[in-house]
Amino acid sequence: MRQPGDRAPAPRELALVQDLINTNDIEGRRDLLADLDGLRAFCVEHGLPEPVASTDEELATVRRFRELLRDACQAHAGTPLPAGSERELAELTARGPLCLRIGSDGSAYATPTVPGAVPAALIGRVCADVLAAQAAGTWPRLKACAAHGCRWAYYDHSPAGRGRWCTMSICGSRAKMRSYRAGRAPDPR
């Protein structure tokens, strides 16, 4: 998937996770998982078993899982997880062969479960990839853009690992301009 500002994508162990999160382009108002055909296409493109008999409820589960992952990536950039996200993510991942647990600091660990219903293959693979990335030290660098209208998942390649924007030339520039304008506002006295 093409990254904003020609930013380099996440390492291999996080490619599926990044691609899943970015199936919902918030700024562009385009959701590649808007329907079951989109879910099937995504699974095929990423070498996952095609969800032949998927339901709208399963699609909703995948979409919610995606947004909870996005929240976890925002925690890597310093935004606190929304209340209940840890519990909800644990409940969703309990449907897959591994149960992913995300700590309040965004750290990841797993507990085994009994394989669940579809979309267990997708959730299980994402859980395994997150754990591999945690072990490799790359998971904390997968972040979601701090711009509320964007939230694009990006991999922070900066030496300090303190990036907040998917790209400085777009979202970072907008934020700096808003901050500048707010500081130059006339005194209301």
pLDDT digits (tens, 9 = 90+) for 67-83: 999 999 989 988 888 89
Range of the domain at 96: 9-183
> What is the Cα–Cα distance from 99 to 112, expressed in whole angstroms?
6
Bond before 140 cis per omega within 30 degrees:
no
Q: What is the pLDDT of residue 17?
A: 94
Q: What is the pLDDT of residue 117?
A: 46
The answer to whether residue 135 is domain-embedded is yes
The answer to whether residue 188 is domain-embedded is no
Q: What is the pLDDT of residue 35?
A: 93
Q: What is the pLDDT of residue 161?
A: 80
Structure tokens, 166: 């998917």
What is the average per-residue pLDDT within 32-55? 83
What is the average per-residue pLDDT within 104-112? 70
The answer to whether residue 116 is domain-embedded is yes
The answer to whether residue 173 is domain-embedded is yes
Q: What is the pLDDT of residue 116?
A: 42
CATH number at residue 150: 1.10.3300
| Cβ count near 61 (within 10 Å) | 19
| pLDDT for 140 beyond 50 | yes
- Contact between 16 and 68 under an 8 Å Cβ cutoff? The reply is no
Q: What is the pLDDT of residue 183?
A: 63
Q: What is the pLDDT of residue 174?
A: 65
pLDDT-derived band of residue 121, with 50, 70 and 90 as boundaries?
confident
Number of structural domains (the chain) is 1
Q: What is the pLDDT of residue 182?
A: 64
Contacts of 119 (CB under 8 A, 6+ apart): 39, 51, 54, 58, 61, 62, 95
Q: What is the pLDDT of residue 33?
A: 94
DSSP collapsed to 3 states, 146-187: CCCCCCCEEECCCCCCCCCCCCHHHHHHHHHHHHHHHHCCCC
The answer to whether residue 47 is domain-embedded is yes
pLDDT-derived band of residue 28, with 50, 70 and 90 as boundaries?
confident
pTM recorded for the entire structure: 0.78
pLDDT-derived band of residue 115, with 50, 70 and 90 as boundaries?
very low
The answer to whether residue 40 is domain-embedded is yes
The answer to whether residue 1 is domain-embedded is no
* 5-21 exposure pattern, b = at least 16 Cβ within 10 A, e = fewer: eebebbbebbbbbbbbb
The answer to whether residue 4 is domain-embedded is no
- Contact between 147 and 175 under an 8 Å Cβ cutoff? The reply is yes
